């Protein structure tokens, strides 16, 4: 009972299902199950047959692929409220990437068949899904742009800006969500580059770094620095929060 309630709350809090009816959410909760994964646990690997998709309750999961010569490409990092693996539905039920919990995480898995059923029978949900995909597509475009136009320090600054409430322009503290080496991977740079670029960012924008905590006195200054090389205007939060 308790667990079931937890599931419902987590589902209701997710980006994909927050507008769904309570009945629908109960239905998902009934078929879903929550698992705790330790840091480093591989949830599935690229080209596995996909039967379920996942919703992060808390923690972080890295989605990645590997090249022939052993390099790793980070497709995404997902956290609370985000889903992964659902795209397999449109890819012959094959996962197109591997997934690894990069810290202890609670993750809900839900049968893809349920999603398929809703796509076939729930027009309202399908529209939600269309919007969801459209936002992700836009995010990907932004990321491609960032890779070619922003330098390493600007990418880090931009990453931080997306972690704060962009509305209040004053003083803020943020907490890097996971190990710096994963942030580096997410931003497409090497840990050494990350370290040096962060140092440069500190010098140029007066932010203070204490371990994983970042103190920002002046959000405006940070955005001036990072967003100069971006075509999106500053308050530019990733996914609409409300």
Minimum CB–partner distance for residue 120 and a second copy (Å):
8
Examine residue 231 and tell whether it contacts a second copy (CB under 8 A). yes
- For 36, half-sphere exposure in the C-beta direction (CA atoms, 13 angstrom radius) is 3
4, 13, 19, 66: which one contacts a second copy (CB under 8 A)? Answer: 66
236-to-142, 232, 242 alpha-carbon distances in Å? 10, 7, 14
Tokens read off for 95:
């996962």
Binding marks (x or -) toward a second copy, 137..176, rule CB under 8 A?
A: xx-xx-xxx-xxx---------------------------
Size of the site for DNA (CB under 7 A): 21
Select the span of 10-18, 21-29, 106-114, 121-129 touching a second copy (CB under 8 A). 121-129
- The H or E element containing residue 84 is strand 83-84
Examine residue 91 and tell whether it contacts a second copy (CB under 8 A). yes
Examine residue 58 and tell whether it contacts a second copy (CB under 8 A). no
Examine residue 193 and tell whether it contacts DNA (CB under 7 A). yes
**Short-list 94, 98, 82, 60, CA closest to 13:** 82
- Cα pseudo-dihedral 26, 78, 99, 5, rounded to 10: -20
Which residues fall within 8 angstroms of residue 221, CB to CB, at 6 or more apart?
205, 206
Residues at the site binding a second copy, with contacts judged by CB under 8 A = 46, 65-69, 71, 73, 75, 87, 89-91, 96-97, 119-120, 123, 126-127, 129-131, 133-138, 140-141, 143-145, 147-149, 188, 227-232
């Amino acid at each position: 009972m308790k667990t079931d309630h937890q599931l419902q709350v987590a589902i209701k809090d997710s980006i994909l299902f927050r507008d769904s009816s309570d009945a629908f959410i109960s239905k998902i909760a009934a078929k879903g199950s929550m698992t705790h994964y330790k840091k480093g646990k591989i949830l599935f690997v690229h080209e596995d047959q996909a039967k379920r998709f996942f919703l992060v309750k808390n923690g972080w999961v890295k989605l990645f692929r590997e090249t022939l010569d052993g390099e790793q490409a980070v497709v995404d990092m997902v956290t609370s409220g985000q889903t992964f693996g659902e795209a397999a539905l449109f890819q012959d039920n094959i996962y197109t990437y591997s997934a690894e919990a990069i810290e202890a995480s609670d993750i809900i898995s839900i049968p893809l068949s349920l999603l398929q059923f809703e796509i076939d029978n729930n027009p309202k949900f399908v529209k939600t899904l269309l919007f969801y995909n459209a936002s992700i597509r836009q995010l990907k475009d932004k990321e491609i742009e960032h890779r070619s136009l922003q330098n390493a320090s600007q990418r880090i600054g931009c990453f931080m800006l997306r972690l704060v409430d962009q509305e209040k322009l004053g003083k803020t503290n943020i907490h890097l969500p996971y190990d710096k080496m994963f942030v580096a991977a997410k931003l497409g740079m090497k840990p050494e580059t990350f370290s040096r670029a962060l140092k440069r960012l500190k010098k140029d924008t007066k932010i203070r770094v204490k371990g994983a905590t970042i103190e920002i006195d002046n959000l405006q200054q940070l955005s001036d620095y990072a967003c100069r090389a971006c075509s999106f205007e500053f308050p530019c939060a990733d996914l609409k929060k409300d």
